[in-house]
Structure 1
Amino acid sequence: MKIFIKNMVCIRCQMVVKSELDKLGLQYTDVKIGEANLRGNITAEQTEQLNTALKKSGLQLMDNKKSILVEKIKSAIIELVHYSEEQIKVNLSDYLSEKLNYDYTYLANLFSEVKGVTIEKFYLAHKIEKVKEMIVYDELSLTEISYRMQYSSVAHLSNQFKKITGLTPTHFKMLKNKRFRTLEDV
């Protein structure tokens, strides 16, 4: 039986879900971002206990089909941006349509209706968060970051970064460095 979980965005969330399933004695085959595959069925009482436990960690079971699909869209984007080492070879709309087996127009309209933001804006926000993370780790140049995040150029990355954060990547990096120097001097 497959259950769907709202607000699962990271590997720690998966660990929380596994832990709660273990505590309730519910066997599972796997736990992915946004869902868990259980062996056998789950009773109404177990469902309520699991949902109560998950809510304490900011997670929640879902049963509404539209909400489940929106969470699948979010999970697909989060996995793509934050956890996938490979770059997608097609555009985002084709990727989501293929992964979720729905027409992209339907996915885009549903997502906008439920979340109040477009899929593209959600995707760009996550890309910029990943870029910020890469800048903070200071292991890659902006050229390497722009290539890894599939920007056509450093200028394109810089323009989007500034549009979303209000800062250039270089200024963001300077602020990070200035903040860390100040903390070291304390």
Structure 2
Amino acid sequence: MVLYVFQERKQVFSAILYECVTQEKPEMLPTYIAIDQAVKMLAQGEVSESVAVGQLGLVLDVCECRVLQERMRTAEGRGLLLSSEFLPRMKCSVDNTLDHWLCDNRQVLRAYLSGQALSQDMRSCMLACYLVYHSVPRVGRETTTLLTGCRHFVELLVVFSRLGVPVRSVMRLAPLLLPSTPGSPF
């Protein structure tokens, strides 16, 4: 098992180094390593704060914008700071980790979104990471009232868009918040 973990880490760091050298961006090496470490700690449940996950979300947002802008300007994609398979792989890993957490802790997120007081065991750093990564803001009484009245995805989308929550996050929250009806995708 230890040998497997060592080989996996070796492959990840080799890929990071290769990408930094081929992109002629050696100054990005610490950023790649920090992102990899944040994702690894999250996957192992060793996160003590949500800052690293929030920063990863910001990096993903910026790079997605840069990728789109760069693709519009040149076909070669020169000038990108972070590219290739690294960021999508990290994003997928974070999404999977947080989705698994959500499956096991739906009641925690429901309690938070409905404005209920959370017990000490419910106040986990993973909840904070989930909220930060998916840009879910602090929910007030008026928002809680609006959310409880939502019966369709469109209503949920309107409420969350007012709060600045991205559509991708609303898609993840919809099955949790909307009443399930026969024949409904949610």
> TM-score normalised to the size of structure 1?
0.36
Structure (1/2) with the larger strand percentage = 1
> TM-score normalised to the size of structure 2?
0.36
Structure (1/2) with the larger helix percentage = 2
Larger relative contact order (Cα-Cα within 8 Å, sequence gap ≥ 6): 2
